[in-house]
Structure 1
Amino acid sequence: MSIEVKQLIIKSDVKDNTEEQESSSGEKTNLSCEMDAIKSELLNQCRKMIIEELKKSKER
């Protein structure tokens, strides 16, 4: 039995502390919400991939 592992690399710019302090709290909330949505979507995609691979391995 073999399971193919796919690697996802996300590149993003990281603000330093001074930029974060200058941004408004609304921007931080929006950014936090966006990150939560991205995490959820990635998690769902990973689950789907794992389920598909497990189904394929059972069929063999």
Structure 2
Amino acid sequence: MEDKIFTPAQVADRLQVAEKTVYRWLDSGKLKGVKLGRLWRIREEKLEEFLQKNTPE
């Protein structure tokens, strides 16, 4: 099974928020990602967890 991996720009586009907002979520730990040097990458499963925790029911 292959994990999908997104850039902050792809996450911002998908959620229709500013890219800066995604970086704030990553820096605060609200959204889990992996930092490779200066670049962030977000696994699809971590994005789904973030959405489940932060979506009003």
TM-score by length of 2: 0.29
- Which structure is richer in relative contact order (CA contacts within 8 A, separation 6 or more)? 1
Higher strand share: 2
